[in-house]
Structures are given as structure tokens and as C-alpha cells.
Amino acid sequence: MRAERAHVAGLYARLDAERERVRAEYQAALGGNDLGAMERDVRVRALSREVRRLDVVDNGLCFGRLDAVSGERSYIGRIGLFDEDRDHEPVLLDWRAPAARPFYTATGANPEGMRRRRQFHTHRRDVVDFTDEDLGRPGGDASGDAALLAAVNAPRGEGMRDIVATIQAEQDEIIRLDHPGVLVIEGGPGTGKTVVALHRVAYLLYTQRERMERHGALVVGPNPAFLNHIGRVLPSLGETDVVFTTTGDLVPGLHVTAEDGPEAARLKGSRKILDVLAAAIADRQRLPAEPVEIQLRDATVRIDAATAEWARQEARDSGQPHNEARAVFADIVTYVLTERAMKRIAQGWLSRDDREEWERFRAELVKDLNADAVFTRALDELWPILTPETLLAQLYSSPERLRAAGGDPVLARAEGDAWTVSDVPLLDELVDLLGRDLAAEKAAERAAERERKAKAAYAADVLDNLIEREDVDEDVGLIAKDLLFGEELADRFVETDTRTLVERASADRDWTYRHVVVDEAQELSEMDWRVLMRRCPGRSFTVVGDLAQRRSEAGARSWGAMLDPYVPGRWVYRSLTVNYRTPAEIMSVAAAVLAGFAPDVRPPESVRACGVPPWARRVTDDEVAAAVAEFTDAEAGREGTSVVIGPPGVPGAVPASETKGLEYDAVLVVDPDRILADGPRGAAELYVALTRATQRLGVLHRGPLPPELAGLAAAPVPVP
């Protein structure tokens, strides 16, 4: 023990020294002027990433040791550390390194050249204990199982913990799977599919660092509480270049949590809504009801329906998005009007043969036309510049527009911009369908160029003043001006972009990721998948879910239905079958609920029992609040976490949908009959609620206990 403590203390000393070195380089890079602005940004970001990586691995830096039959000894940890004085020899193996894999996969029957596996139990920086597992004989030491059981039996904290020290062989195979496309991981409650997916991201960021580090990875979860729960796992593994988001946050600037009713969500989630969006855009490309008269020099010209129809067809045939195709529409209308004006104005004094004069006169008319308020207003009415928010809000709030676009009346609402989660993929789709406002972009570019020139002029003045100062040698000033021109000096005034990858990616709708993790993927609609596929052109995904837990009417009924349109033949399926979270006593109750609504689905097998039977207690309406308070008071005195799950109106309760992917030491489910009765997916909601507990489960019911819960004690018992 003394030797191991001394060795781990030495590893921490190396970590601290490396931190100080990198921090010093980072501070120097922030203030350095020896590089151009772009090179400086690249270096600052790289060092910032390294600072964060070293700062988050303090807890449990080294968690194990492998002893090979050959006598070689390797320490396993969260990151790799090296001895610079001994030809960069590793003193701590990163858990993702190929040489570390036997730590997770070696067994007594297949030791993989290993003699012993040692697992450290640490508190902060100290080794408090360790267990050894002999790998030289089949069916030998079971201390590896002891380490696993100690981890799964430990009280839960505020967030999900990594499993880097106790990854099981079934999980390790999935984490390290070499597949370039989409990997679907399906597993019932408690099988660890989420944490396996997160460790897989960490593994890919390690093995494909050069390919992934400039673009990072995206993790999509069902709600903010879930993201907060899992948010510490990847940083604890030394990876911070990962964006965490919900589907309601996929469009920068929007944070949406409200949900539609089942039918509206189903309609918006279907790819058929694309026809409605296309028709809504086409409906805004109008023809004038009456000719629009415009005075152009000495001639009156008109935008009539025939002219607008020709221009509209040309614009549509261009294949450009709506806003960008407006230029085509305007060009055709402009051509027709100027032709008509020229025939009337120039007839008799300007020959068609005088092409140069003819084009000069046309250019003058075009300039006059573009400055004409009536013409500009007509363009805005016939082919308006649209934003996704404007188009969709006006579609929802106008029954006439909704009807013209072929939309279902159930989509109508008084407040068109009262966004729901199901609207987000539609808004994202419209970004591409509508395209950019080119005129606004050109104006912004001109403003930026004016600002750059102003900075360059200011920098040139600085140099001139330097030369003219009496206390500066003239030759020195002239040399400075020769070496550093105004525009180059202006670059020094450009503020270094020190935003992290996560900050830059989160703010950029067009950012693309190298890998995407989708958790609770059974809830995503066809339209949600279109958004995610745009975010990852390489189609590298880890998809995590359980079809039996689907609650959304727009969600997946099969993985193939969602994935085949995008990655036919490029997705593989793996399942997790062992339940590490839910004890056998609770899982037997949940399994009965599962059998009622998904009889073909086999529940995961619990790896342990907790010794505490789940209970049920019947209460009256007047007793509910007191019974809930009794539960919460009792749990407040215990180590760990607890939650009350129930339908609306239950004091202190949260809906089951908000606990998906989460886990608690103790769970109290209130009014299970009302949960079952709440819509077509009520049974799946109850299944989710029952499987959140890791130690203790109680049920309060006012009516008769649902037959699905017959495995609970039906007689009134006091709350433990």
C-alpha cells in the first residue's frame, strides 16, 4: 500500500508540473505578438483545450494496474502521462490506449497475457484501498465483480459518474467498436447505454484526435435536467470539446421546452410537413391582382400578372432558395420594365445599332428603377424577403395561409411564434429553404470593410506619430514603418477570439460535427433526424435508446425507418442486456408493466439484488400530501438522492418524462393508475418511473392498485 500511494503521488506531481507548464504557455500566447492573429487564435485555443483537459482529471487520476505474465507493469488512468527524461516512456496509460484494453477484457479463462488486475479505491488524491484479481486461472478471483458491485451500490450524487474504472467487457466492445457510420445501442433501463455512449465519444476523440478536434462532437439529450446529469462524464475523462444540447436548442438563439399535443407533434415530425413548408413559401411568391404602375422617366410602365408569372417561374426554375432567388425575379421584372420604357422613351432618337449608348441608357433606367419606392414596395409584396420565424409564425396564425399550404387545421394557433420543440426542426429546415438575405449580407460586408480600413488608417497614424516624435530616432521609426505597414499593424488591434470550441459551435447554425450522440433517440421524429444529419455530413453517430420506452407519437417505431433514408447499409445494431442500476426486486415489478404493453421485449437482467422489497400504500385524497412529505423527510436523512414522480397536481412531483435517463437512490411513484391512463403511452411512462430507483421504490395509490403492479405489497404499510 505504501508503494502504491507513493507511485500515485508521483503521478500527481507530474500532473501538477504539466499543468503549470501549459498554463504558462497559455498566458504567453494570450499576450504574444510574434504571430499573426489567425496563428495566435489557433495556438490559444489549443493551449486552452489542454489546460481544461488537465484541470478536470484530478479525481481518480489513476485507478488501476495491470501486471503482465512477462513481468511488465502498467498503470491505467484517465489520461496518459509520460517520462520526458526516459524517451517519452509512458508512466500512466490512458484508459483508451490499446495497451490498456486488457484491463477491461482479460478474464481468468482468457487472461490475454496478463497475470493480475489491480483496482484502486481512491479518495481525492489518496489511495485508500485496492483489490487484486488473479487472471491466471479460470473461475478464480471474483474481486472484479466486487469492484463493480461496490460502484453500482454506492449512493448516487448530483450527476452521472463515469464508469472508466469498471467498464465491463460487453460495454468495452461497444465503446471501441470500429465502425465509421451509425451505431445503434439499445438497452432497457439501467443497462448503462448512456454512459457507454459517452465513453465511446471519449474513445473516438482519443483515437481520432486529428480528425475530430477542430469540429468536436455533439451530444443530444431529452431535456436540460438530463444534460446536467450527464454533463460531468466527458470532462472527467479529459474531454471538453463536446456540445451538449436538446432538440429544442438546436437552432442558435432559441431555447424551446414547450411541447405540442400528440397529434400536432406527429404531423410536424413527419417528413410530409416538408410539402406544407414548400407550399407555404410558394404561397408568398405572388402575382399582382392589379397591374402595378411605375413612373420611369417619361414613361409609365406596369408590373402585370404575365410579367410577374414569367419572373416567378424563372426564379423557381433557378433552384435557389427563396431569398436568393429573389434576385432572379427582380432581374426579369427589371428587364421587362426597362425594355418597355426604352421603347417609349428612346424611340426615334436612339438606334438599336448603337449598342453602347443603348446599354448606358438601360443602366440609367435600372438605377432609377431600383431607387423607386413603388418598385421596391412591389418587389416586397410579390417576392418578400422571409425569415424562418416570420414565415412559420404567419402560417400558424393564419387559417387562410395554412389552408393554402395544405396544412392540417390542428396546427393553427393564435400566437404563431409560441414555439414548441416540434417547431425547431421546421425552423431549421426553413433556414435552407429560404436561404440568405444577400442584400443584408453585402451591407454587413461593406460595413466590416469600412471598419477594417479605419483601423488600418489609425495604425498608419500611430506609425507616423512614432516617426515624428522627438524622443524616437528617425531611422528607428522609418525601419518600423518599413517592417510594419498600417494594415499589418491593424491586425494587432483585432481581439483574439478566445472562445472555446463549444462556445463557437453553439453559436453557429452551420457548424458541422465529426460525431453525434443521440440519447433517448426513440423520441426523435423524422424531422429531428433531418436536422442532425445536416449537423454531421460524415454520418458518424452513436444512437442510444429503447423503443419500449417511446412516448412521442412522432418517435421511432423501428430504427430502420428512421435511419435507412440517410445511411442505408451503414448502421449497425448492438444491445446491452445487463441491468446495472435497477435491483432485481424492483425490476420484477417493472417487468410486469413491460409485459403488458411490449410483450415481445425482454427486460434486462439485473446484476444485483438490494434486499429491500418495493412497497405500495393506499391513501385517501387528504393523506397524499402528508404521505409524500413523510417520504421526502425520511429520504432527507439518508445519503443519496430521491424523487417523487406523478401526474400533474401531486405535490412535489415531477412527470416521468422529466426523469428519463436519470437515476435516484429512492423513488416514490404517486397515482400509477392516472399515469397509465394519460394517453396511449401511459404504460411506457409508468415503466420509466418504476425503473429510476437504484435502492428503494414506493408507490402511493388512491384507487385500486393497477393489476400490472400486483407484485407490490397491496396491504397498507408504513413508509420506510
Annotated binding-site residues read 187-194
Among residues 688, 671, 410, the alpha carbon closest in space to that of 523 is found at 688
Work out whether strand 515-518 and strand 217-221 pair parallel, antiparallel, or are unpaired.
parallel
Residue 259, burial from CB neighbour count under 10 angstroms (0-12, 13-18, 19+): middle
Exposure of 505 in the CB half-sphere (CA atoms within 13 A): 22
- Residue showing cell 521609426: 477
Q: Grid coordinates representing 409?
A: 387545421
Give binding residues for ATP as ranges.
Answer: 187-194
CB contact set of 28 (below 8 Å; sequence gap of 6+): none
Residue 633 to residue 617: CA distance in whole angstroms: 17
C-alpha dihedral, 291 to 296 to 298 to 303, nearest 10°: -20
Query: CB–CB of 488/37 below 8 Å?
Result: no
Helix (H) or strand (E) holding 476: helix 474-483
CB contact set of 428 (below 8 Å; sequence gap of 6+): 250, 251, 388, 509, 531, 534
| DSSP assigned state of 162 | P
Query: CB–CB of 213/240 below 8 Å?
Result: no
Count of C-beta atoms within a 10 Å radius of residue 129: 11
CB contact set of 601 (below 8 Å; sequence gap of 6+): 188, 547, 548, 594
Q: Give the chain's radius of gyration (CA, Å).
A: 33
C-alpha dihedral, 631 to 633 to 634 to 639, nearest 10°: 120
Query: CB–CB of 460/488 below 8 Å?
Result: no
Q: What is the 3-state secondary structure (H, E, C) of 562-605?
A: HHCCCCCCCEEEEEECEECCCCHHHHHHHHHHHHHHCCCCCCCE
Question: Helix (H) and strand (E) counts for the chain?
Answer: 28, 20
Helix (H) or strand (E) holding 644: strand 642-645
Q: Grid coordinates representing 280?
A: 407555404
Residue 86 to residue 675: CA distance in whole angstroms: 64
